[in-house]
Chain A
Amino acid sequence: MRGGGSELELGKSNLLPAENELELGLGLGLSLGSGAWRERGRILTAKDFPSVGSKRAADSSSHQGASPPRSSQVVGWPPVGSHRMNSLVNHQAVKAAKAEGEEVKQKNKDEPKDVSVHGSGFVKVNKDGVGIGRKVDMRAHSSYENLAQTLEEMFFGMTGATCGEKVRPLRLLDGSSEFVLTYEDKEGDWMLVGDVPWRMFITSVKRLRIMGTSEANGLAPRHQEEKDRQRNNLA
């Protein structure tokens, strides 16, 4: 019984193959020459990636992709705890706000005086037609895609009380569904989600609302949404 500290060593059988029944297919012994490995089907390694120094990497964050991952696109990298990451994000948001003040198409032209994520990281989310709202922790998300995924699971996922079968994913962000994702910013204005850099977004979002596309017509247009719709139409 080891309810306490688990420093006990059970045994030193570190080289014992578990059981004869373990089918390994390759019939490998313990002298594994690296040459033999390379000939078998292998997974892509760093050598398959173009010049490592390249920072203009493609958008794919899968390590099977053609380029090395940019560290900002990889989930959980660099390995910095979320509390610390939020602090960094705030710091960058201040810098970004200063640098991008003119380019951002926002009604609020002033730099937010206090960009720290004060108040709870949780914002309320309501979907039109659904009486009960949910709450989502903005600080636990790293991108719009991430957030959309969570919201789709929350409001349209298999855990819904009435849903028996799997529902088609919603595509809240690209305008291909009958719902759009909107948010209320610090000034009280309702905007379409996706216009501003993620880090700016999370410092200004107060509430989220999933509303019907027809209702959202009065909001600022989204160039990305147009591009995606065109891409989808070609698929």
Chain B
Amino acid sequence: MDLRLPSKVLEHIFSFVDSNEDRNSVSLVCKSWFETERLTRKRVFVRNCYAVTPAAVARRFPGMRSLTLKGKPHFADYNLVPDGWGGYAWPWIEAMAEKSPSLEELRLKRMVVTDECLEKIAASFKDFKVLVLTSCEGFSTDGLAAIAVACRNLTELELRECIVEDLGGDWLSYFPETLTSLVSLDFSCLDSEVKLSDLERLVSRSPNLKSLKLNRAVSLDALGSLLRLAPQLVELGTGSFSDKLDQEAVSKLAQVFTELKELKSLSGLWDVLPEYIPLLYSVCPGLTSLNLSYATVQMPDLVELLSRCSNLQKLWVMDLIEDKGLEAVASSCKELRELRVFPSGADVDETNVAMTEQGLVSVSEACPNLESVLYFCAQFTNAALATIAKTRPNLKCFRLCVIEPFAPDHKTHQPLDEGFKAIVESCKDLQRLSVSGLLTDKAFEYIGTHGKKLRMLSIAFAGDSDLMLHHLLSGCESLNKLEIRDCPFGDTALLENAAKLETMRSLWMSSCGVSFGACKLMSEKMPKLNVEVIDEHTPETRPDSSAVEKIYIYRTLAGPRLDMPEFVWTIHKNPEIGVSHLAIE
């Protein structure tokens, strides 16, 4: 009996399949499902821009309306990837301009975006609506002007933590008077002042504006007038919160905040003076997301503020909150799902000692929905980790950064192996884990044994030997991204588990003991991987036994990169260098 469904029926059914994970499964069933699925997919995610060519993506998904791309490896955020490594948006934009001119949305993360790219976007996609650039670099405010002037249906323009060559605030004035469709504008990472009158006019003619994130240069006074024009805002990122205002201005501002009935998310608050914090009290009960990570607010003021935020689900804050402040969060913010605590000092000497492991324990014990944690702390204990594991088995993301490398449990002076064991044993749905502190190979044996759902793992200054890598590569079945720095393993575990790497998106290793010879061997034996050696030494002068500085390995269908700088080497650059016998003494 022929069970084949007509493609029209299939199309209709697939229109209910949203998640790309499901769509990928759907496309594997049979050829006709593959065909129907690819013709109907609207949102395409390419999580490694070098895993596949732009042409291939454009060919497979002719109906694409939204493209999300990621470029550099995650450790680029911490300056571990040298400038010029790659991640260029241009080939993608050029290809889509030609083959997918109906593209409406582009979201890029950790990519190099030039003004030419932005001009090309402005010129090529007639119905362009959404541009979100996260941790991108390479463009100037001139490129923004090009987008502003040409994209007549723009709804979202968001620059999140980008490095932008700031040539002034004029770009904002390029939004034409006819543009009334804006829903979200985020220019918080820019430095220059924009003209307030331009901003006010833009806001007034944008009735759909829901999210506005200003940069630091926007004064408190200006904020007041903007909020008066946009009381419907759901997300607000303020500018600098520190001008000296007179009594009248302050009470007017307080009034304006009470009008923000829809506000759910608040951020910015640079330089906020303690006397202005009460201005925020009226919006606190409605907030689900609060980002105070750039606000140097001290603990007592934080307690006052947070005790009013009973609906808070996401809190980002600095360690100025201290244990006491986190206790207040524990008792007031029962809906909390995500907590991130960032260091207020740039190194361990400046870490706030009044915030310890106890703060996180308090929140874990009291907040039943807590599932995502990022916590920077001077030191930690196995007991605390065990308590967190026991009380929060629902954790999905646990990133602990003990700031001092190799720091043991500060009470027992033992490695933190047992603590992380508790975490991976108890939190069965854990998908993302960052470990730190003093860790032996044992810790990784535990992670390999129990971390079956782990997709992303970040490791620094840990382990004793190749065993650590072997446990991870052989044990963590769902491992997708592994990034390791400054760990003392060599070639053996990597080579023995080489096949694993084809099941993962990528592996980053820097300042470890992997030799050049091993890299060559892997390159030769695993053609579906790109093995990139990032090292200042030229391959001719580099002996096989020497450890290389940085290695980035990723699976790819696109073959070797054509845009590698000098300091990135793959075997395709020097195919005549044969693979020598690998001898490990």
Q: Which A positions have Cβ atoms within 8 angstroms of B?
A: 1-19, 21-26, 28, 30, 32, 34, 37-38, 40-47, 49, 52, 55, 62-63, 68-72, 74-85, 87-89, 91-92, 116-122, 135, 137, 139-140, 142, 158-159, 199
Q: Which 3 A-B pairs have the closest CB atoms?
A: A72-B347, A76-B78, A5-B20
Instruction: Show 20 residue pairs from A and B whose CB-CB distance is below 8 angstroms, ordered by the A residue.
Output: A6-B48, A13-B499, A14-B474, A23-B581, A24-B582, A34-B441, A37-B467, A44-B488, A46-B438, A62-B511, A76-B78, A80-B376, A82-B79, A83-B189, A84-B293, A88-B346, A120-B167, A122-B165, A140-B79, A199-B346
In the complex, the answer to whether A83 meets B161 with C-beta atoms within 8 Å is yes
Which B202-220 residues sit within 8 Å CB-CB of chain A? 216-217
Q: In the complex, what's the smallest C-beta–C-beta distance from A164 to chain B, in angstroms?
A: 14
- List residues of chain B with CB within 8 A of the CB of A120: 164-167, 191
In the complex, the answer to whether B161 meets A81 with C-beta atoms within 8 Å is yes
B461 touches which of A14, A43, A63 (Cβ 8 Å): A63
- With A22-B521, A52-B406 known as contacts, the answer to whether A17 contacts B496 (CB < 8 A) is yes
In the complex, the answer to whether B495 meets A18 with C-beta atoms within 8 Å is yes
- List residues of chain A with CB within 8 A of the CB of B189: 83
In the complex, the answer to whether B348 meets A76 with C-beta atoms within 8 Å is no
- List residues of chain B with CB within 8 A of the CB of A52: 404, 406-408, 438
In the complex, the answer to whether B488 meets A45 with C-beta atoms within 8 Å is yes
Q: In the complex, what's the smallest C-beta–C-beta distance from A38 to chain B, in angstroms?
A: 7
- With A52-B407, A80-B78, A84-B342 known as contacts, the answer to whether A140 contacts B161 (CB < 8 A) is no
- List residues of chain A with CB within 8 A of the CB of B463: 45
> For residue B296, which residue of chain A has the nearest CB?
A91
Stretch binding the partner chain, chosen from B50-58, B321-329, B365-373, B569-577: B50-58
B83 touches which of A8, A40, A91, A140 (Cβ 8 Å): A140
B231 contacts the other chain (CB 8 A): no
In the complex, the answer to whether B502 meets A10 with C-beta atoms within 8 Å is yes
Which B1-54 residues sit within 8 Å CB-CB of chain A? 20-21, 23-24, 28, 41, 44-48, 51-52
B153 contacts the other chain (CB 8 A): no
In the complex, the answer to whether B477 meets A1 with C-beta atoms within 8 Å is no
- List residues of chain A with CB within 8 A of the CB of B404: 52, 71
In the complex, the answer to whether B557 meets A2 with C-beta atoms within 8 Å is yes
In the complex, the answer to whether B582 meets A74 with C-beta atoms within 8 Å is no
A24 to B518, CA, bound (A): 10
Q: Indicate the member of A4, A18, A71, A116 with the most B CB atoms within 10 Å.
A: A4
B583 contacts the other chain (CB 8 A): yes
Q: In the complex, what's the smallest C-beta–C-beta distance from A66 to chain B, in angstroms?
A: 14
A70 touches which of B345, B348, B461, B500 (Cβ 8 Å): B348
A74 to B401, CA, bound (A): 15
User: Which DSSP category, helix, strand, loop or mixed, fits chain B's interface?
Assistant: loop
Q: In the complex, what's the smallest C-beta–C-beta distance from B347 to chain A, in angstroms?
A: 3
B562 contacts the other chain (CB 8 A): no
> For residue A19, which residue of chain B has the nearest CB?
B525
- With A5-B24, A10-B503, A44-B488 known as contacts, the answer to whether A70 contacts B347 (CB < 8 A) is yes
> For residue A72, which residue of chain B has the nearest CB?
B347
- List residues of chain B with CB within 8 A of the CB of A7: 20-21, 24
In the complex, the answer to whether B525 meets A18 with C-beta atoms within 8 Å is yes
Not counting A1-B52, A3-B56, a sample of 10 additional A-B residue pairs whose C-beta atoms are within 8 angstroms of each other reads: A11-B503, A14-B503, A22-B498, A45-B463, A52-B404, A63-B488, A63-B511, A79-B77, A85-B346, A137-B163
A84 to B458, CA, bound (A): 19
Q: In the complex, what's the smallest C-beta–C-beta distance from B205 to chain A, in angstroms?
A: 29
In the complex, the answer to whether A22 meets B492 with C-beta atoms within 8 Å is no
A4 touches which of B48, B61, B342, B486 (Cβ 8 Å): B61
Q: Indicate the member of B48, B80, B492 with the most A CB atoms within 10 Å.
A: B492
- With A6-B48, A71-B403, A137-B163 known as contacts, the answer to whether A23 contacts B582 (CB < 8 A) is yes
In the complex, the answer to whether B488 meets A3 with C-beta atoms within 8 Å is no
- List residues of chain A with CB within 8 A of the CB of B20: 4-5, 7
Bitwise, B482-509 to A at CB < 8 A (1) or not (0) is 0001101110100111111011010000
Q: In the complex, what's the smallest C-beta–C-beta distance from B493 to chain A, in angstroms?
A: 8
In the complex, the answer to whether B496 meets A24 with C-beta atoms within 8 Å is yes
> For residue A122, which residue of chain B has the nearest CB?
B165
- List residues of chain A with CB within 8 A of the CB of B581: 23
- List residues of chain B with CB within 8 A of the CB of A45: 463-465, 488
Q: Indicate the member of B61, B167, B192, B497 with the most A CB atoms within 10 Å.
A: B497
A215 to B382, CA, bound (A): 60
